[in-house]
Structure 1
Amino acid sequence: VIGDLQSVYDCLGFQCSDVGAYLTDSLPQCADIPVNLPLAEYRPTTRVHSHSKIDLDVLQIKILSSMEAYSFAKMLYLYGRNSPLPQDDDNVPYRLRTLHGFATTADRTAANPFYSDFASYFNDPNYADTVIIQTLDGQGKWGGASTEQRTEVISDTCAFQVLYMHALTELGSAMSACNNKAVRSSTGAHQWDEVAAYLIGSLEGPNAGGAVDLEDGQLVWSLANRRAFQFQTENKEGFSEINVHLEDLLFAGKAQINSFDCGNLAKTADRIQHLILLPIIQSTLRYALINKDLPSSSPSKDLSAGETFALSVLPVVQRYDGESAQVIEENMVLRSGVQPVQNGPQFVADAFYRALDDFGYSCILVGATPEVDACQLGGGIGAVRGAASGASTFQLLTSLTLLSLCTLGML
C-alpha cells in the first residue's frame, strides 16, 4: 500500500521529502522521479518532468470535448490539472501551469519574429486562445459545428499552436540566457530542457523513438511519428527522421548552452523552430488528400483538422512566400459553399515546396504518398533523394581523398 501511495506522489504534485519517511527500515524507501528521466531518450539535466505532463491536459481536454463536456474542458484549459509549478515555500499557494496561460502570456515576445507573424496574420495577439475559448463556448466559426469538429479544433490548437509558440518562447529565453553571461548556464539549460518537454511530452515515455503506440503521444513528436509511415519518412526503427534530427539538435543546443556558444545556439534554435513545422506540413497535406472529396458542409472532423493544421503553419509560410501562403489558405481554410482543396492536394504540396528552401530543409523530410509528392517540383522524391545521396557520396569521397593526400604529405 505504501508503495502504491508513493507511486502517485508525482501526480499529486509533491515529492518524497514533502511527506517524509517513517522511522523504520520495514517500509519501502521512497524515490522521486529522477531529474534525468529521458523524454523519448532525450536526457534533461534539469527537472522538467512536471512540465512535460502538460500533454495530459491536452489529452484530457480532448476527451472531455469529445463527450461534449465543454464546461469541464474549459475549466481544465483555464486552470490546468496535471503540470504543477514548483512549491519551494509552504506559504506559496499550489499553482499549475495552464494552456490558457501559455496562450496569453506576454513572454511570447521572446518567440519573435514568429510570434509577431502569427499575431499579425490573425490580427489578434491571443489568436489561439480566442479560437479555443470561442469553440468551447459554442461561438465563432466552429462553435456550431459537429462535436468531432469542435474537439479537433480545440485539441489541435492546444497542441500545435499554443505549445508550438510556447516552445519557441523557451527557445528565445534560452538564447537570452546564453547571451547574458551573468546568468548561469543552468538557467539556459533548464529553459532548453523545457523546449524538449513541450515538444515531446510525458506520454512518449523514456525509450528511443517514443511510445510504441503512436496514438499515446499528443504533441509534435507524436505527430511526426504518425506521419512518418504515411509519408515514407521513417527510419529503420519505424520512427520519424524528423524526430531523429530534432533529438540531435536538442543535444547540440544543450552542449552549446553549457559552453556559452551562443552563435551556434542561435543557429540550432532556428533549425528547431522550422523543423517542428514539417509534421504540420505533412498533416496539412494528409487532410488535403482526404478533404478534396468532402463537401464544405460535411460534419467530418477532417475538415476542421485540415484547416487547423494549415493555420498552424501559414503565418510562417507567408513570411517567406506570400503567393504560396495564399494558395494554401484558399485550399485548406474552409469557406461555406466552396469545395475544399479545389486546386487539388498536389497544388498545395507545390506551394509548400516553394517555401521549404527558406525553412532550411529539403522536401525529402516532408516525403510523399502515392497521391501527393512534396518534391514534385524538384523532379519527384526519388530524383531528389538520388541527388542527395550522390552529393553525400561525393562529399565522402572528397574528404577521403583529401585525408589520403594529407597522409602522404602531398597537401
Structure 2
Amino acid sequence: MSIAYLKLDSDFDVNSIASGTLFTGSTNAGQIVLARKYDGNLEAGILKLQYEVSGQSPCYVGGLNVKDFSGCFVAVGTVTDGTNTLSYTYDMTTKNMNGRTLSGLSSVLNVDMANEANFKIFETYYGRADYSYHWVTSAFEGTSTNFTRGNADFTNYSLIGKTEAIKKGSVHMGVGHYALHEFENALKLCELDVDSRELSRARWDEGVALYTGSMEGTEGTDRQGKFPYTLAEKRCENFKTCGDGADSSDDNVKSWVNINLMAQFRRGKSALFQKDCDGAQAALDNISSLIYIPLIQSTLRYAYMAQLLQGDNSDQNEQDKVKAEGAVFAAAVLPKVYAIDPDAAEIIYANMKTGATETVFSEVKDAFESVYHGFRINCNQIGGLIEASSDTPYDGAERCRANTGLTNESKEEFKIEGFKKKMTCSELANISLQYRNVICVTPGVAETCRGTCLGTCGCYDDPNQEYLNKQETEIVGTCEDLFTDFKYAEKCNKIENLLFFCPDVCDGWCDHIPFGKK
C-alpha cells in the first residue's frame, strides 16, 4: 500500500485528525484522488496519506520496475477532509513509502505472534520464529535453509523454481499466517478488562482483509487475487468441492471452504461485538481448521502432477514449476501435520521436499488422510483430484470414502431459549446454511454441534456406494439400501466395513438430510 508524505505549508497539528480520515485532492490532470490519514512515525509538518486501494487512478511507485504516477497527488496543491483544507508540496518520485509489505508481514512474525497457538506449531517444527522470512530470503539468495526440520535447498533451483518458492512462500507462509495472528490479536483485546470492542473488531477485519486481498473484487467470484481466498476458489474446481455441498467444480460457484470461512468470519466479529470471547474463540478454532484445506489440496495436486511428469519428456520449466509449487505448499502445511503425527509429516516431506528424487502420490495421499481427524476436517471437504475434461477423478486420486472428521454428534441435542422443543445436530445440519449460521452463534450450540456448525457433518455418502457382507465375500447392498432399512444401526454394529463404506448413514446424519440434499 502506497503512502504519500505531504509537506504542509503551515504548522497544522496533524495529530488533531483521526487516523483513517478521508482526504481528497487532485492529480496533475485534475482527477480526484482519495486517500486516508495514516498513523505511524508521525513527523511534525508531515501529513501521511494512504492511497485508497480501490482507487481508479493508480499511484504505483517505490521499487516497482514500471511506475505509474497518473493517480498521484499533484506536486503542489491542497487536500481537504471536509473541515480542514491544507496546502502542501510533494515529490511523487521520492516521497512515497510502503506501509505493510510482504517482507514486513513475514519478518515481524516472531515479535507479534509469540505464544499464539497457530504460530507455535510452526516455530516448533521449523525451529525458528522467522520461518517465512527465512524461506523466502533463502530462495532469493539460492541457498539452503537452516531449519530444525523441513529444510529446503534452493542451491540448484532454476529461476522458475525460485519464483514459485518466493511467491507462494510469501503468501501462504507469511500473509496467511499473519491473518491468523490478527484473529488471535482480536481475541487478546477481547479478553482485556477495558472496553476494546472496536479495536478487537478492527483487528478481526484486518485478518479477513489479509486472507482475501484487494484483487478478488467485492463479490468474491473473480478468482483474480493472489491471497489465500483465491487459492481456495481455484482448488475447489480441481477437487470438485465448490458450493454449499462441496460437490461442484463450477467456476461460477464459490468454494465450500470460502462459504464456510466467511460464515466463521461473520460469526467471530459478531461475538467480539457482544464481548463473547468464547464465541470468537470457537470461530477461530473453525477458521484454523478450514484454512488448511486448500493447502492440503494443493500439495496433493502437485504431488500427482510431479509423479506423472517424472520420467517423461515434459518441458523442464514445467517440471521445475510443478515441483517447486508442491514443495512450498507442503512447507505451508507440514508443521500442522507434524503436530498431529510426526511420521506422517516425514512421509509427506520426503516426497515433496526440494530436490526430491521421487514423488509417490499414494504415499502423500495416505499420509494426509491419516491426520484429517487432527485437522478436524474430512474426506468430503478435500474431495478428489478431477480431470477437467470429464469432471471425474483421476485414477488413484478419488475422494477417500471414510468420513475421518469429528466423532459422531448427530444425536446430540440442544435447546434455544424461547423455543419449547429441543433440536438435534443432524436436524440443524438440514437447515439452510444462512439460518444454520444464525443458530450456531447462539450460546452453547456451537459447543454441542461443533462439526455441524463447522460444516463437517452431514449426509455425504454416495447413495450408490456398494458394501460387502460381514465376511467381505460379496456385495449385499448400497448405502441407500442401508438407509431404507430400519435396522441400519444394528447392521452398522455387526458389519465393520459399513463404517468405511457408509459412515454418514451409520452415524445417523442421513435421517434428516436425504442423499443429494446437502
Asked if these proteins are the same fold (TM beyond 0.5), I'd say yes
Are the equivalent residues in 1 in contact too, given 2:379–2:401 (CA < 8 A)?
no
CA deviation vs aligned residue, 1:237-266 (integer Å, no higher than 9, x gap): 422111101010001011000001111211
Tell me whether 1:134 sits opposite 2:149 in the alignment.
Answer: no
Query: Is the partner of 2:371 in helix, strand or coil?
Result: helix
- Could you tell me how far apart the structure 2 residues matched to 1:378 and 1:267 are? 22
Query: Is the partner of 1:218 in helix, strand or coil?
Result: coil
Q: Specify the alignment match of 1:287 in structure 2.
A: 302
Q: Paired residue for 1:301, among 294, 299, 321?
A: 321
Are the equivalent residues in 2 in contact too, given 1:249–1:268 (CA < 8 A)?
yes
Displacement after TM superposition at 1:176 (Å): 0.6
CA deviation vs aligned residue, 1:90-137 (integer Å, no higher than 9, x gap): 999955112222112144425722212212222222111112112223
Tell me whether 1:250 sits opposite 2:265 in the alignment.
Answer: yes
- Could you tell me how far apart the structure 1 residues matched to 2:335 and 2:276 are? 30
Are the equivalent residues in 2 in contact too, given 1:170–1:195 (CA < 8 A)?
yes
- Could you tell me how far apart the structure 2 residues matched to 1:359 and 1:112 are? 17
- Give the 3 Å change call, closer, same or farther, for CA 307–51 of structure 1 in structure 2: farther
AA partner of residue 355 (structure 1)? V
CA deviation vs aligned residue, 1:38-88 (integer Å, no higher than 9, x gap): xxxxxxxxxx996999xx9xxx9xxxxxxxxxxx689xxxxxxxxxxxxx9
Structure having the higher Rg: 2
- Counterpart mapping for 1:11-410 below 5 A: 17-19=22-24, 96-105=99-108, 106-109=110-113, 112-140=116-144, 141-207=153-219, 209-211=220-222, 214=223, 216-235=224-243, 237-295=252-310, 299=317, 300-335=320-355, 338-339=357-358, 341=359, 344-369=360-385, 370-371=393-394, 372-376=397-401, 382=462, 387-388=503-504, 391-395=508-512
- Could you tell me how far apart the structure 2 residues matched to 1:97 and 1:145 are? 29
- Could you tell me how far apart the structure 2 residues matched to 1:148 and 1:183 are? 50
Query: Is the partner of 1:124 in helix, strand or coil?
Result: coil
Q: Which deviates more, 192-201 or 123-132?
A: 123-132
- Could you tell me how far apart the structure 1 residues matched to 2:173 and 2:139 are? 15
Q: Specify the alignment match of 2:14 in structure 1.
A: none
Are the equivalent residues in 2 in contact too, given 1:51–1:197 (CA < 8 A)?
no
- Give the 3 Å change call, closer, same or farther, for CA 148–356 of structure 1 in structure 2: same
- Could you tell me how far apart the structure 1 residues matched to 2:197 and 2:371 are? 35
Are the equivalent residues in 1 in contact too, given 2:211–2:227 (CA < 8 A)?
yes
- Could you tell me how far apart the structure 2 residues matched to 1:378 and 1:346 are? 18
Displacement after TM superposition at 1:348 (Å): 1.3
- Give the 3 Å change call, closer, same or farther, for CA 271–156 of structure 1 in structure 2: same
CA deviation vs aligned residue, 1:166-187 (integer Å, no higher than 9, x gap): 0111111011111114142111
Are the equivalent residues in 2 in contact too, given 1:136–1:143 (CA < 8 A)?
no
Displacement after TM superposition at 1:375 (Å): 1.8
AA partner of residue 182 (structure 2)? E
Q: Specify the alignment match of 1:406 in structure 2.
A: none
AA partner of residue 307 (structure 1)? A
Identity of aligned residues (%): 24
Query: Is the partner of 1:205 in helix, strand or coil?
Result: coil
Are the equivalent residues in 2 in contact too, given 1:367–1:373 (CA < 8 A)?
yes
Query: Is the partner of 2:367 in helix, strand or coil?
Result: helix
- Give the 3 Å change call, closer, same or farther, for CA 178–32 of structure 1 in structure 2: same
Compute the TM-score of the two structures, normalised by the length of structure 1: 0.71
- Give the 3 Å change call, closer, same or farther, for CA 347–73 of structure 1 in structure 2: farther
AA partner of residue 23 (structure 2)? D
Name the structure, 1 or 2, with higher relative contact order (CA <8 Å, separation 6+).
Answer: 1
Compute the TM-score of the two structures, normalised by the length of structure 2: 0.57
- Give the 3 Å change call, closer, same or farther, for CA 368–174 of structure 1 in structure 2: same
Displacement after TM superposition at 1:322 (Å): 1.5
Query: Is the partner of 1:18 in helix, strand or coil?
Result: strand
Displacement after TM superposition at 1:194 (Å): 0.7
- What residue ranges of structure 2 are gaps of 5+ in the alignment? 6-19, 37-49, 66-80, 89-94, 145-152, 386-392, 405-459, 466-499
- Give the 3 Å change call, closer, same or farther, for CA 270–16 of structure 1 in structure 2: closer
CA deviation vs aligned residue, 1:15-41 (integer Å, no higher than 9, x gap): 9953459xxxxx9988779xxxxxxxx
AA partner of residue 225 (structure 1)? E
- Give the 3 Å change call, closer, same or farther, for CA 31–159 of structure 1 in structure 2: closer
Instruction: Give the number of the structure whose residues are more often helix, by fraction.
Output: 1
- Could you tell me how far apart the structure 1 residues matched to 2:97 and 2:354 are? 42
Are the equivalent residues in 1 in contact too, given 2:289–2:376 (CA < 8 A)?
yes
Are the equivalent residues in 2 in contact too, given 1:349–1:373 (CA < 8 A)?
no
Are the equivalent residues in 2 in contact too, given 1:275–1:361 (CA < 8 A)?
yes
- Could you tell me how far apart the structure 1 residues matched to 2:201 and 2:238 are? 35
Are the equivalent residues in 2 in contact too, given 1:134–1:143 (CA < 8 A)?
no
Root-mean-square deviation (CA, aligned residues, Å) is: 4.0
Q: Specify the alignment match of 1:39 in structure 2.
A: none
CA deviation vs aligned residue, 1:217-244 (integer Å, no higher than 9, x gap): 1111100111111101011642211110
AA partner of residue 321 (structure 2)? K
Are the equivalent residues in 2 in contact too, given 1:285–1:345 (CA < 8 A)?
yes
